[in-house]
Structure 1
């Protein structure tokens, strides 16, 4: 496949995803990072002239795409605490059959996760190369955002969890040193064997807790997140936004105070893959 064909696949997936999920009456829309998002913003611009929509970017690059399209960006931390995003569009580095995603190839995983969790639904747009049965089939590593001072400790801990050769990501110009995120943190890329789905564990294909060398997606994400010094893990798993919406109103009482159980989801409700032949395949929750 030529670069032109891949770009055509991305545009086709973005166009269909926006056509089926974008509401011109929305008030707040999340916009992720990566090359596919350029086509999402293009499709949104063609679908709506509503000047009141505020677009929440996941980093510098996505903010520039929003501005260049003549749309209005708003910083994530400027959102009122009770405002949910109507929808978020983002890409992925790899997606499995249960819609778990690996993200962070562009080093924006922390803000991407903030936006995905704040959205009533997250829709993923990608090309056919990202469509796999299990995570870490084609994409080689899990991106992890780490405090600079904690890098040696986290690298050691990742080896203990079963990652053979976790590495600190450097810039394209190696002499410039480690790549820095928008938070001035570093990225560690950690390879693991292909990750099990919850269905795999239920079928007895492995324990999925690391004890037998196998990891289920959510279990590994939680194990890495618990390491001191880790800001965020580039695994998007767990609930999706629609599932979270169903729980958001359920409250429990803790020492006389009402607390909300959950505020958002991480997994997409649907993934649109632009294919080699120009078609679009959709995986839905």
Structure 2
């Protein structure tokens, strides 16, 4: 059994029939979606990920939109980094606004990740990502610069132009010289006009399954 499969097996124990379950993006969550279909597929699924939505639909789950869902029993997702207080940076996928909606709806929000992504202090190599209305681009770029950061518009890999979210917004990758006051920095940017959401999850995480590839073991964060 691989360490990813071991993480999935632990997550499976938390899924019960008749639950509304949130599944995020990423390969580990994808494996959980597949495995759950073999054990307890009598669940309703919500997801921020188009890839996960397609997979869940093919597997025969009932998939609903969060616009028509006022509560989620449990949700699973990945992360780029996680600290010991349950805060996380989820910067890679660019779907953090919809991920936060599900996290906020969920009674329990679990991250499935590797032990080496648990940090004492967030690594500045991982950007703080902002989903931004196109009209606010100049305002956001100037504000990030004023706060001592460097902002870059994320570009598309498979075509000429910028990466757009499902809502048609821009993704701005922001690098700062330190994350020592990340909570305050996040609040300042999150409340800026035109910023839809940030990739910093402040006390939204209930718990996490952490896999250690060296020992091939899985443990809970809390």
Which stretches in structure 1 are left out of the alignment for 5+ residues?
197-214, 239-266
Within 1, Cα distance between the matches of 2:123 and 2:128? 8
* Corresponding position: 1:131 with 2:118: yes
Counterpart selection for 2:17 from 17, 24, 31: 24
Name the residue aligned to 1:280.
Answer: 218
> Are residues 1:66 and 2:56 paired?
yes
Q: 1:11 to 1:195 in 2, by over 3 A?
A: farther
Q: Deviations over 1:87-139 (max 9, x none)?
A: 111111110111100113111111000000001110111123422222235x5
Is 1:186 the counterpart of 2:177? The answer is no
CA positional deviation for 1:194: 4.4
Equivalent of residue 141 in structure 1, options 114, 122, 127: 127
CA drift of 1:17 comes to 2.1
In the aligned structure 1, how far is the partner of 2:88 from the partner of 2:194? 22
**Within 1, Cα distance between the matches of 2:39 and 2:185?**
39
Is 1:161 aligned with 2:126?
Answer: no
- Distance (whole Å) between structure 2 residues aligned to residue 48 and residue 232 of structure 1: 33
Report the TM-score, using the length of structure 1 for normalisation.
Answer: 0.72
Query: Between Structure 1 and Structure 2, whose CA radius of gyration is higher?
Result: 1
In structure 2, runs of 5+ residues without a counterpart are none
> Would the alpha carbon gap of residues 232 and 36 (structure 1) be closer, same or farther in structure 2, given more than 3 Å must change?
same
Report the Cα distance in structure 2 between the residues aligned to 1:155 and 1:18, rounded to whole angstroms. Answer: 42
Question: Aligned-pair distance for 1:24?
Answer: 2.4
Corresponding residue to 2:186 among 221, 229, 238: 221
Q: Which has the higher strand share?
A: 2
CA contact (8 A) 1:24 1:47 kept: no
* Aligned pairs for 1:1-285 within 5 A: 8-19=2-13, 21-26=14-19, 28-50=20-42, 53-79=43-69, 83-136=70-123, 139-163=125-149, 165-173=150-158, 176-196=160-180, 215=181, 217-238=182-203, 267-277=204-214, 278-284=216-222
Say whether the 8 Å CA contact 2:41–2:61 is kept in structure 1. Answer: no
For residue 46 of structure 1, report the CA deviation from its aligned partner. Answer: 2.9
Are the aligned partners of 1:179 and 1:186 in contact in 2 as well (CA < 8 Å)?
yes
Structure 2: how far apart are the matches of 1:11 and 1:156? Answer: 44
Segments ≥4 residues shifted beyond 4 Å: none
Displacement of 1:227 after TM fit? Answer: 1.2
Q: Is the 8 A contact 1:89 1:125 kept in 2?
A: yes
Q: CA RMSD in A?
A: 1.8
CA contact (8 A) 2:153 2:173 kept: yes
Distance in 1, Cα, partners of 2:153 & 2:4? 29
TM-score w.r.t. the length of structure 2 is 0.92
